[in-house]
Structure 1
Amino acid sequence: MPQRDGYIPGVPCWVDVSQPDPEAALAFYGGLFGWEFEDVMPPDSAGRYFIARGEAASSSIFDTSGELRSGDVAAIRSIPEAAPSTALWTTYFWVDSADAAVAKVRAAGGRVVSEPSDFLNVCRTAVCADPEGAAFSVWEAREHKGARLINDPGAVVFNNLNTRGADRARLFYGSVFGWRTAGIGGRAEGWTLPGYGDWLEREHHPGLRRQMAAAGAPEGFEDVVGSIVPIADGTAPHWSVTFATADADATAATATELGGTVIVPPFDAPWSTETYTIRIAVIADPQGATFTASQFVPKQRG
């Protein structure tokens, strides 16, 4: 899809990864996805925040034009003071007001982990958790309008709620963000935001519905903002991030060479369709933050 310049409320808009040693993470993600970095923190700051910029030829499920584009994709950050020293990816959702969003979280039975605060001139943000404990953040944009590059190789393609309580999650996220649920292909279920597809087609991607239909996407897929992943007992509920890749097998091999760990080797996902296959791998970076790499493989017709 074309480069973004903002989102509408309730849509995932940014991801960052907290690392015990953020400088060490630059080599891994730069080598894996070709990202370049800029530290936006003042020189005398105790913490670091490296914004990653990517460049890719479009090769997403619904846009195989090969058009070259670039922009901010994610960030690598120091672990905030007093937070657990665990490397992990965080998903941010666009809101008009961070303060109003945390009020909705409380009213819906969620928890506010950290109150709204201003982050430089970038955004106003807060950390929250749903009733099951899955943490996420809200993003009230100031000068930074979230990810500019999405769905292309090296950029975010999906944000996923890993949960044991889908029914309870429907009530919570429906109250906070207005989400609903729907099938997203195969046996998978996703979050939808009514009107999101209308906005996408109007503001960013004319002809989106036609391209989705031609690719064999389920009806209503244009409104999808995330996926629901059932988890077994023993796994903590959490939000996870999926990055697009041109070659899931090559990405897994490169991750290993760079010091990462392939937790789940590449395989064809069960939600693949008659017109395309989704090939995925689950990877941990050298400091332990996990993510998924996803490759779209169109099937030849006829």
Structure 2
Amino acid sequence: MDDPTAAREFYSRLLGWEVHDSPPEAGGYLMAMRGGRPAAGIGPKMGDGPMPSVWTTYFAADDVDAIAAAVTSAGGTVYAPPFDVMDVGRMCVAADTDGAVFGVWQAKAHTGAGIFDEPGAYCWNELHTNRFDDAKQFYLSVFGWSYKSVSDTDRFRYATFSTPGSADDAGGLMDSTTMPGETPSYWLTWFQTADTDTSLDTARELGASVLMGPEDSPFGRMGIVQGPQGEVFGLIDTTRTVGEPPTG
């Protein structure tokens, strides 16, 4: 973020986070807590070059150096080579073959998010990609994911992915070329809310823009928000569903 202090105020009021300072050696990084458990991190941008404010999706790894090497072998780009973050973990920042940026985290003292699938916490991460088949192959090569097709039509192409050894859905991939408009490929983080309409109204009051919604869907009532610093994220009430999931 350009202004982590402003982000602290925005997300505390929007998602009910308690945002704590980290030690001085953490470089201004803030830890967001919900119900006493880590929900997310807010930090200043790394490096001197221009970059947008974003929510970065992080994937857990047993060996971040091996994953960074796999990213390069699969045709991706490693923007920040693996480095240690004090005693809490080791990480890198990379992008897939179409430029969608993600992080990789090898846990030490900090294992990552301790709360999810609850109001005020993240509940889903999905890749919006302009190269759907290439993306599936890339993440299979790097992380060993398996996929389940939700819909495979010219109007809507979407698949969920699972990590090795698990049958549970961990996130999704959407073919952006089936949707109106043109955008770069990117990872979108969704936060759960108990009331989408109220959360969208609150986001507006706090200076954000609502890019989509509220809309009902088979997965919940949802909206997409651009925060005051330009970061885009989703809000969804997964308890309020309308219709049946698409098939095809």
- Mark yes or no: TM-score above 0.5: yes
Cα distance between partner residues in 1 of 2:9 and 2:159: 35
Matched residue, 1:227: 172
Distance 1:298 1:20, change over 3 A: closer
Q: What does residue 282 of structure 1 align with?
A: 224
Are positions 1:247 and 2:195 aligned together? yes
Residue matched to 2:245? none
Structure 2 counterparts to residues 48-197 of structure 1, below 5 A: 48-55=28-35, 70-184=36-150, 188-197=158-167
Q: How many residues align?
A: 235
State the secondary structure of the residue aligned to 2:87: coil
Q: Which has the higher contact order (CA 8 A, sep 6+)?
A: 1
Letter in 2 for 1:107: S
Cα distance in 1 for partners of 2:7, 2:241 equals 35
- C-alpha spacing 1:103/1:267, structure 2 compared with 1 (3 Å): same
Conserved in 2, the CA contact under 8 Å of 1:20 and 1:85? no
Q: 1:136 is aligned with what amino acid?
A: F
| Larger deviation, residues 157-166 vs 34-43 | 34-43
- State how far apart, in whole Å, the 2-side matches of 1:184 and 1:170 are: 14
Please state if 1:262 is matched with 2:207. Answer: no
Structure 2 CA distance for partners of 1:268 and 1:141, relative to 1, 3 Å:
same
Unaligned runs of 5+ in 1: 1-18, 56-69, 198-222
Q: Cα RMSD (Å) of the superposition?
A: 2.0
Alpha-carbon distance between aligned partners in 1 of 2:105 and 2:226, rounded to the nearest angstrom: 26
Quote the Cα distance in structure 1 between the aligned partners of 2:240 and 2:2: 39
What is the CA–CA distance in structure 2 between the aligned matches of 1:151 and 1:135, rounded to whole Å?
Answer: 23
CA contact (8 A) 1:267 1:281 kept: yes
Return the alpha-carbon distance in structure 2 between the equivalents of residues 256 and 283 of structure 1. 9
Report deviation, 1:194.
4.2
Length-normalised TM-score, structure 1: 0.73
- Contact 2:216/2:241 (<8 A) preserved: no
> Take 1:108 and 1:299, find their aligned partners in 2: how far apart are those partners?
38
1:231 counterpart letter in structure 2? S
Equivalents in 2 of 1:224, 1:299: separation in Å? Answer: 18
In structure 2, the partner of 1:220 is none
How many Å separate the matches in 1 of 2:241 and 2:31?
35
Change (3 A) 1:298 1:31: closer
